[in-house]
Amino acid sequence: MAPWTKPTLVSFWLLSLCSITLAGVHHMSYLQLISPQAASGLPKRLQVMRVNDLVLSVYDSNTRRQAPRNGYIPGNQESQQFWNARTAGCLAWDSWVETEYQGLVREMNASSPKAEPYYMQILKTCELDDATGAVRAVTRYSLNGEDLLQHQTDQNRWFSVHPAAWRVAERWNRGGETSAMLNHLPLQQCRFWMERSVPFTTQKTAQPSVHVVFVPETQDRQQRLICHVTGFYPRDIEVTWERGGQVALGEQLTSGIRPNGDPTFQIQVSIELGQEGVSPAEHVCVVRHSSLGDAPLRMTWDSQATGQPGILVIVSVCILALLGIGALGWYLRRKPGE
């Protein structure tokens, strides 16, 4: 079952959730992908900008344009002019990054030659704390998933995470302002973007829908309940199983929060009902999300309405059979008269 391939214990997940929900921290990211050659459907260079997990703009080396996504209109700027200016910035990055990509591949391949193609990932992230106004940015470069270089604004210099990247780190550290605009995310740029996009993302909200499914015991698994929560934005959510007003005993496993492809997210949290005599209907899936205000959604496995497809099937078959018998009777009664 795909959603459960990497189950994480809920306690760990709750801990990480707490770190996010310390209210008023906004985050922005640029994900940049550089491929050795353009494949069908995948441009050679691609850049996706997200604010609070919402994709706001995309640039790719095929169209050579930066364009808005999800209806994003930055502030009250003249829109066409704005995107033309953004595209100009992206074109400068595009030619710069191609040269840097080739340089890094040369260094890496010289230290340990590989036959397979090299894909470069660049992740530029920054966080703005509403309460203090503090901004912090981290940029990471990697090749085929192996970390090469890292930049943190609080240290304001490049570190080579991989020994083969030290020459590049030194060169970038000598580079100054011009290089800074291209290879990492300067704080003023981060602040500029956050100010223009956070209000847009905070207007967006989508309420979760919740379904509870009962999975009977099998040879190698105990009976369990799965709470499937989907269609929510923003991403942060809390899903817990409760029983008698308290967090339910029994191991709760989460799929982790996953994107739906549209701007919304989904998550599944299951609970094993180990002990004898524990009724699934006593368990409540409790969902807390910013779109719901202070009133969490509570969903039980309702044995009448959704819980027992077996009974529903039997009832439907009976109704159909009765209808069939009725129709047959009507037909038989009618025939002699014709």
Q: Provide the binding-site residues for ligand NAG, judged by CB under 6 A.
A: 105, 109, 113-114, 118
- Quickly count: other Cβ atoms within 10 Å of residue 131's Cβ: 9
What is the nearest approach in angstroms of ligand NAG to the Cβ of residue 38?
A: 16
Q: Which is nearer to ligand NAG, 70 or 121 (CB)?
A: 121
CA distance 58 to 44: 14
304 three-class SS: helix
Strand partners, 283: 243
121 three-class SS: strand
Q: Which is nearer to ligand NAG, 113 or 337 (CB)?
A: 113
Q: Which is nearer to ligand NAG, 108 or 285 (CB)?
A: 108
CA-closest candidate to residue 30, choices 236, 260, 193, 259:
193
Q: Which is nearer to ligand NAG, 54 or 104 (CB)?
A: 104
Question: Helix 79-111 to helix 166-183 angle, to the nearest 10 degrees?
Answer: 180
What is the nearest approach in angstroms of ligand NAG to the Cβ of residue 262?
A: 37
Q: Which is nearer to ligand NAG, 109 or 291 (CB)?
A: 109
- Quickly count: other Cβ atoms within 10 Å of residue 90's Cβ: 19
What is the nearest approach in angstroms of ligand NAG to the Cβ of residue 166?
A: 19
Which residues, 6 or more positions from 1, have their beta carbon under 8 angstroms from its beta carbon? none
**Is the alpha carbon torsion for 25, 57, 101, 170 positive or negative?**
negative
